[in-house]
Amino acid sequence: MNRRWVLIAIGYAWSLGTMAQESASGTVASIRTVPDSGYFWPGRPVDHQLVFRTRAMYDASSIRNELVSALWHGGNIDRELRERSANNGGGPERAGYLLEADLSYAGGDRLFGNERIRPLVSVGWRQVMGVRYSDDLYNLTFFGNGAHENATMALAPSAFEQVRYQTLGLGIQAVGSGSFIALHLVNGQDMSGARIRQADLFTATDGRYLNLALDGDHVRSADDGNNGWRSRGIGAALSFQWVRPFTAGRHGLCAVIGGSDLGITAWNRRSLSVRRDSTILYQGIRLDGVLDLDNVLISREGIQDTLGLGFKEGGFIRPLPGNVYASLRLDGAFRMRYQAEVDMRYLPGYLPHAVLSATRAHERVWYRAEVSYGGFGGMRGGLMAGWHPCGGYWLEVGLRNVTGLMGGRMRGQALSVGMGYAW
């Protein structure tokens, strides 16, 4: 690595550590949550922190849980169920999921002779997918083209991306505030994505022919038949977090700005891609013959077979589905904390996601209620609880979409688990 960039990173972390030391000690102690888990943890300076976090969630703006369950289990899906998840003219729709796990360790009382910073090591696993689709694409997928004789269906703009990768990070953390900067080595395991800018499908009377005006591209990682762990791409990413505590009268406040997995992956030369900007004529295709219901939304083979496209081999570079975030939290009276957060992730169908929350802490437990909007879905409510059994141990569990548990006609599910130890 270029020596200049190493010095810049060291200087950045040094300044963060200095800033944390210059903050009012009472304020720092009241909001020191590294990471932002319990209201009270660790609550004191520590030399070592080991943290594990995992999250599983999916959400959608129109697709209901009952349809997701039916697709998962397979079999016949009745028309009424499919109609309940239709958008019915409300504009482009969204859906997606996130599966994530992270393990991090920050330890030591100094780095490079500076007692204000220490090393940070982390490993992460990600599998994510995002979809943005038009009303006509949903109708074509679930009802076919039989009801659109002598009419044109606008299947675009639409996009999807599904990627699985792992990270190994090394960085620097500021003691006290929790600010950090880290560089990650990225192993790209699987990837498939498409951007469809135009896809106008005309169905002639009696289904004599279809005319598809298509402008889009589709890329995917190498199809080598290996279903186990593999490396099909390599990349690099940056993660950072800037934490600034300050006071407002008698209350402690804290502003946080950060980003994670901001980088790229170079997929190997056996990867496949296709670019198409032309008009394609199909004859004798009607009803459910255009898209296969069993391979809805994310099928690689379905896209290729449906559109008659031929892939070509060759490497390509793709941005990671990283995210940026910011938050402002206030320590109130009666051991209450109030927080406003916003984040944005580089995935099709993901809109800015905002969260408002309130946390109440007792001696060894804390509770959090939140309301959020955006991401892959709409409005939702969530609940979290944490426990501090003894010493430096802590555990938290969150149901970040309680509304999704209220029946099959709701949208989305989410679960998060975190645990850690400080000593």
Q: Which pLDDT score, from 0 to 100, does residue 59 have? A: 96
What values do phi and psi take at 210, rounded to 5? -120, 145
Contacts of 227 (CB under 8 A, 6+ apart): none
* pLDDT (tens digit per residue) in 265-319: 999 999 999 888 888 776 655 444 444 334 444 444 554 555 555 788 999 999 9
Residue 71 above 60 pLDDT? yes
Residue 208 above 80 pLDDT? no
| Extended strands (E) in 332-412 | 336-345, 351-361, 365-375, 380-387, 393-399
Instruction: Give, for 7, the enclosing helix (H) or strand (E).
Output: helix 3-22
Q: Which pLDDT score, from 0 to 100, does residue 96 have? A: 96
More confident of the two residues 103 and 284: 103
Q: Can you read off the two tokens belonging to residue 208?
A: 């004599």
What values do phi and psi take at 85, rounded to 5? -95, 5
* pLDDT (tens digit per residue) in 349-373: 999 999 999 999 888 899 999 999 9
Q: Which pLDDT score, from 0 to 100, does residue 397 have? A: 97
More confident of the two residues 144 and 265: 265
> Looking at the DSSP assignment, which residues form a beta bridge with residue 200?
213
Tell me: cis bond preceding 42? Omega within 30 of 0 counts.
yes
CA distances from 185 to 14, 31, 122, 317 (A): 23, 31, 11, 15
Q: Which pLDDT score, from 0 to 100, does residue 74 have? A: 78
pLDDT band at 42 (very low <50, low <70, confident <90, very high): low
Other C-beta atoms lying within 10 Å of the C-beta of residue 315: 13
For the entire predicted model, the pTM comes to 0.83
Residue 31 DSSP code: H
CA distances from 87 to 92, 133, 139, 200 (A): 8, 10, 9, 19
pLDDT band at 158 (very low <50, low <70, confident <90, very high): very high
* pLDDT (tens digit per residue) in 239-277: 999 999 888 778 888 999 999 999 999 999 999 998 888
Average pLDDT, the chain: 83
